Structure 1
């Protein structure tokens, strides 16, 4: 499914990456890349290690030069410009706070380097700390703050310089799961309040879906798909996107043809698969396949079931644990069930090659 986000009006492109290629010796890290990132959006670059996403971020920041192509910031060509000549700033995973300076001094450091007078700095520091809701820690040292607080201070230090684009290189990667999820909400709220373009690099699929207005899914130096979180999850354009973004059941061409009458490869998300009594009547528009539960995996809010159909195909189903506590879900390993899903819930993958065509 194509990206259906309304196109930006002329002049609303914050970052344009045009035909960018990056090679390190024999290694090709980025291959003929084109991206338009809109002003004011939260744009995530998602992909596994080595997919090229961090290299693209570093080229936008000016830490690396493209081997070919060009990079525009609000229409200005900055391909060969030094990092300090670009109206961007970067937040890293390791915070990079000065341990001997107070929080206020850390936040003010960039202004001091730029020669902003002490009196003017004080008001700007207070405003920046208010944006990340940490005015009360101005006099403390970094060692006296939690990991989440230090990350927000790093964000305040970047925002105080009023960049047109803020680059974030896996800034939440060092935090534990609960704190990372809390910071995701904080980060999105801050981005909406300041209205600055955020470009966020992550390998965490859930993080990208939670935070982003749009996501670019990277693989092997190229972009596989760009779209809203809903688009890339619900309508993957390649098998890689379907597999990388969460868990899915890939229905190969012969199975799709038999079950759906369509030879295209289809993606069927586990939350759309129902396990019912084999004797229950089949709902209109549904597909029903006999199967046996091979394994159950309890994961707190939901349980995942691995189910083998009669022809040996393994399906994954997920069920929310909405049953009364202390009462089991009623499905156990070895149970015979009917695997069911609505035909419309299996979405074709246009970039996947059907088995007949591949042969």
Structure 2
């Protein structure tokens, strides 16, 4: 990937959309398939990204999400199907003829250019007048809250600042759609979480459609208006963060998106009277004394504590029933620091949950 790819090889204004600007745009994929020889990376994909939304494509490595992003950008040709941007078919157009821009994980800033010149690079290639170029660069740096570093060189900035400069360089060209390929992947956890908040605020302010690729479940839930969960070249579920987390459509989604207790029909029918696979999130499972009586709206099962895991903010407790069913209960550590609380290994307990907190997995 060349450095100029990060600014979508700017040249003439997009042939697909005519006038460039900050207007929002939707992306539509119909029957999109991508094959590499005998291997099918993406299979017959239909996807609709709404204008102006923050849309995340989430999945494990090799699930097809990055391939889809590259096809939208024009870096990979489509084997079958079509891609539309704002209602215009861009399937056969080159990357520089699509009104999209891409931000990658590696930033790819020019080390010998100042921050202002890095951001201005695409505009200079487009032969934008110097005065207009300077105004646009100033606006872009203000959008990412880094106007004070315009004269510095990239190596003088932190990783989070360099990532925001890469974002400014993409935004200054005013694309209709911004594509982000795991742009926060190289940052440490604390900085990554700070940048998630920054990125969402920037997206709201500029109003551009963002399509974000990640394998980090928490990141997708934090940032997105909607999430598409990918697996083996297909989309398992599309929905809001609440929908995909609380109402997983498949066993894969339930297991991949956070931690879930999956209870098979053989156990669910006995415990909860449901002859289906059910999913219960650990934070919904309560551990009660072994002699506790359940309320009419609760389901539960006798179990023994086999392990406790302290994670700082939470404690996870793993219990096992006499039939070998393992469940995880998660409790927030809201007790006084230094005090031991909760069940210990070997304790007999009842793992219980409110019945309507269990989701039936289709």
Query: Where on the TM-score scale, by shorter chain, does this alignment land: which range?
Result: over 0.9
- Residue 199 (structure 1) aligned with residue 211 (structure 2): yes
Matching residue within 133, 153, 158 for 1:141: 153
Question: Are 1:12 and 1:38, in contact at CA under 8 Å, matched by a contact in 2?
Answer: no
Q: What is the aligned counterpart of 2:141 among 121, 129, 135?
A: 129
Is residue 323 of structure 1 aligned with residue 335 of structure 2?
A: yes
Say whether the 8 Å CA contact 1:13–1:36 is kept in structure 2: no
Is 2:24–2:208's contact at 8 Å kept on the other side of the alignment? Answer: no
Q: Which of residues 95, 105, 114 is equivalent to 2:107?
A: 95
Is the CA contact 1:276–1:339 (under 8 Å) kept in the aligned structure 2? yes
Deviation at 1:310, TM superposition (A): 2.0
Tell me, yes or no, if the aligned pair for 1:101 and 1:141 is still in contact at 8 Å.
Answer: yes
- Give the corresponding residue for 2:184: 172
SS of residue paired to 2:26: strand
Q: Is the 8 A contact 2:268 2:274 kept in 1?
A: yes
Q: Secondary structure at the match of 2:295?
A: coil
**Pick from 243, 247, 256: which aligns with 2:259?**
247
- Alpha-carbon displacement from aligned partner over 1:169-201 (angstroms, at most 9, x marks no partner): 000000000000000000000000000000000
Deviation track 1:313-333 (CA, whole Å, cap 9, x = no partner) reads 111110000111111013211
- Residue in structure 1 matching 2:78, options 51, 66, 85: 66
Q: Describe the shift of the 1:148–1:12 C-alpha distance in structure 2 as closer, same or farther (beyond 3 A).
A: closer
Question: For 1:42, which of 37, 43, 54 is the aligned residue?
Answer: 54
SS of 1:148's partner is helix
Structure 2 residue 353 is matched with structure 1 residue 341? yes
Give the conservation status (yes or no) of the 8 Å contact 1:103–1:137: yes
Q: Which moved further from structure 2: 322-331 or 133-142? A: 322-331
Map Cα deviations across residues 226-269 of structure 1 (whole Å, 9 max, x no partner).
Answer: 00000000000100000000111101011111122221110010
Corresponding residue SS for 2:131: helix
Matched, 1:282 2:294: yes
TM-score when scaled to structure 1? 0.93
- RMSD of the alignment, in Å? 1.1
Other-structure match for 2:232: 220
CA contact (8 A) 2:179 2:210 kept: yes
> Could you say what secondary structure the match of 1:328 adopts?
coil
Q: Determine the C-alpha separation between the residues in 2 that align with 1:340 and 1:13.
A: 46
In 1, Cα distance between equivalents of 2:354 and 2:299: 6
TM-score (norm 2): 0.93
Structure 2 distance, partners of 1:319, 1:18, is 44
Q: CA offset at residue 120 of structure 1? A: 1.0
Structure-1 separation of matches of 2:334 and 2:291: 23
Distance 1:14 1:340 in 2: 44
Residue 311 of structure 1 aligns with which residue?
Answer: 323
Distance (Å, rounded) in 2 between the aligned partners of 1:197 and 1:46: 17
Q: Deviations over 1:300-358 (max 9, x none)?
A: 100001101122111111000011111101321111111111111111011xxxxxxxx
Matches of 2:286 and 2:56, distance apart in 1: 32
Aligned equivalents of 1:131 and 1:186: distance in 2?
Answer: 10
Deviates more, 1:274-283 or 1:132-141: 274-283
Structure 2 residue runs without a partner (length 5+): 1-22
The answer as to whether partners of 1:289 and 1:339 remain within 8 angstroms in 2 is yes
State the shift of 1:13 in Å.
6.0
Specify the alignment match of 2:312 in structure 1.
Answer: 300
Aligned length: 340
3-state SS in 2 of match to 1:181: helix
Distance 1:245 1:32 in 2: 23
Task: Map Cα deviations across residues 271-292 of structure 1 (whole Å, 9 max, x no partner).
Answer: 0000011123322311131111
Change beyond 3 A, Cα 1:12–1:122 = closer
**Where does residue 356 of structure 1 map in the other structure?**
none
5+ residue gaps, structure 1, are 1-10, 351-359
